Amino acid sequence: MNTIYTTLALVKIDSWRLVLLLATAVSLIGYPKPASAATFNVTVGLCHYPCGYFPFVFGPSSVTIHPGDQVMWTWASNGHSTTSGRPGMPDGIWNSGVRNYGATFTHTFNSVGTFPYYCTQGAEVGQVIVISATPTPTPTPPNGPPIVTTNPAGFIASFSAILKGSLNPDGLSTTFHFEYGTTSSYGLTTAPQTHTGDTSRPVSANINSLAAHTTYHFRIVASNTAGTTFGSDRTFTTLSPTGPPVVTTNPATLIASFSATLNGSVDPHGLATSIHFQYGTTTSYGLSTAPQSHTGNTYLNVSANISSLSASTVYHFRIVATNSAGTTFGSDRTFTTLSPTGPPVVTTNPATSIASFSATLDGSVDPHGLATSVHFQYGTTTSYELTTAPQSHTGNTYLNVSANISSLSASTVYHFRIVASNSAGTRFGSDRTFTTQ
């Protein structure tokens, strides 16, 4: 009898072992680990050239990711945020707060859905679309008539203006132009421009030889093989031949620990005009840059370098212009100087001296108060494959750096970026491309 009980007990134990083995196998086979999460990069405070009349944007403004992926926002200019929700209506999912050039902010998305976001300090909007990781068929590329919008004119002077719009070629090679004139019959057109792709982008055209103090109509027109699309009619009124100057305070640039560059634009409005910047730690300012003199009836970019600033300090500034018809003050803007020391600040600039087998890579670096090593990465993909020799720099101001590269292939697209390292960290510039001849 004892032998029988012992045998049954062993069978029972072996049965539990079998169940345990089966459960382990199911857990390993039936529930595989998800693929590694990915990081998607978005630039904050990106401006389309020329900065000043196109608004800042997120670039790209929309990204599509999978659950578990994260988005890393990197600041390209000062005074911006990434805040979940819609303008004026934050939903509390994330908020970076207002940050400045070189800052980063990361958020991980674990659920499926569409997550809009915006900048609390401007007009930038974007969205993150989180979809199931299940593969979906590749959509058919867009292929239709162009999509256009006539946007408000900018830089309106006495005898000139810039006509602006947006264009989506919708997958086909598209030619666009602006029609303009003193009535909605127009009568005048700008030179045609050609674009391709299937995303919306800002477009513009300069016009001159206008009559002063006159109302003009204009619209964008775009054509491709699928049809022609007309934007809505808009109007603007040119300035009088002479009058008070017209000014705009633009964002500060090259912000370092103890220095910065103040920027603005001015239309002297037909009269000899004196321009300067006021700046200081409050809106009472207290300090001024040296005056500059300008004349004419078109908008001019003006700037002034300032130094002897305090580190980690908020400064206010504005442009001021005076002529015989009056004085005009630009709006107040702010910037925050960098800490005395920290990671380097870098910018990848366009390549120059591009030939069939060689080129010069260009960038700028602020060593940020520490001994800094700088080089360029380059190659035929964004994995890069090659690097230039390291260069050493110190100080707290922006320096132009360059490197000559050779042994390239003709008629080939190359990617490159600047990289700088010091004891406080490593910073990578944005990717740029050039094509050899």
Asked if the model's pLDDT at residue 138 lies above 70, the reply is no
Asked if the model's pLDDT at residue 14 lies above 60, the reply is no
Instruction: Find out whether 163 and 204 touch, Cβ atoms under 8 Å.
Output: yes
Tokens of 427: 């910073």
Question: Above pLDDT 90, what percent of the chain?
Answer: 79
d(CA 322, CA 266): 10
d(CA 422, CA 69): 30
pLDDT at residue 289 in the model: 98
Asked if the model's pLDDT at residue 358 lies above 50, the reply is yes
Asked if the model's pLDDT at residue 7 lies above 50, the reply is no
Instruction: Find out whether 160 and 298 touch, Cβ atoms under 8 Å.
Output: yes
Average pLDDT, the chain: 89
Question: Above pLDDT 70, what percent of the chain?
Answer: 88
Tokens of 22: 């089966």
Q: How large is the average pLDDT for residues 141-153?
A: 89
| Radius of gyration for the alpha carbons in the chain, expressed in angstroms and rounded | 29
Phi, psi of 13 (to 5 degrees): -65, -45
pLDDT at residue 87 in the model: 87
Number of H-type helices and E-type strands within the chain:
1, 36
Whether omega for the bond prior to residue 60 falls within 30 degrees of 0, making it cis, is yes
* 359-386 confidence digits (pLDDT tens): 999 999 999 999 999 999 999 999 998 9
Q: How large is the average pLDDT for residues 340-366?
A: 96
pLDDT at residue 53 in the model: 52
Cβ contacts of residue 30 below 8 Å, gap of 6+? none
pLDDT band at 36 (very low <50, low <70, confident <90, very high): low
Closest C-alpha among 213, 103, 101 to residue 158:
213
Q: How large is the average pLDDT for residues 35-45?
A: 83
* 79-127 confidence digits (pLDDT tens): 899 999 998 889 999 999 999 888 999 999 999 999 999 999 887 899 9
pLDDT at residue 59 in the model: 86
d(CA 352, CA 384): 19
pLDDT band at 77 (very low <50, low <70, confident <90, very high): confident
Phi-psi region of 411 (alpha: psi -120 to 50; beta: other; left: phi over 0): left
Instruction: Find out whether 309 and 337 touch, Cβ atoms under 8 Å.
Output: yes
* 372-431 confidence digits (pLDDT tens): 999 999 999 999 989 999 999 999 999 999 999 999 999 999 999 999 999 999 999 999
- HEC string for 257-318: CCCEEEEEEEECCCCCEEEEEEEECCCCCCEECCCEEECCCCCEEEEEEECCCCCCCEEEEE
pLDDT band at 50 (very low <50, low <70, confident <90, very high): low
Tokens of 151: 């946007």
* 155-176 confidence digits (pLDDT tens): 999 999 999 999 999 999 999 9
pLDDT at residue 115 in the model: 95
Asked if the model's pLDDT at residue 1 lies above 90, the reply is no
Asked if the model's pLDDT at residue 32 lies above 60, the reply is no
pLDDT at residue 136 in the model: 57
> Comparing 54-58, 177-181, 290-294, which segment has the lowest mean pLDDT?
54-58
pLDDT at residue 11 in the model: 36
For the chain, list the domains and their CATH numbers: 39-130 (2.60.40.420), 147-237 (2.60.40.10), 246-336 (2.60.40.10), 345-435 (2.60.40.10)
Q: How large is the average pLDDT for residues 315-329?
A: 98
Phi, psi of 182 (to 5 degrees): -85, -5
Sign of CA dihedral 121, 63, 89, 203: positive
Three-state SS at 235 = strand
pLDDT band at 291 (very low <50, low <70, confident <90, very high): very high
pLDDT band at 258 (very low <50, low <70, confident <90, very high): very high
Instruction: Find out whether 76 and 62 touch, Cβ atoms under 8 Å.
Output: no
* 239-256 confidence digits (pLDDT tens): 999 999 999 999 999 999
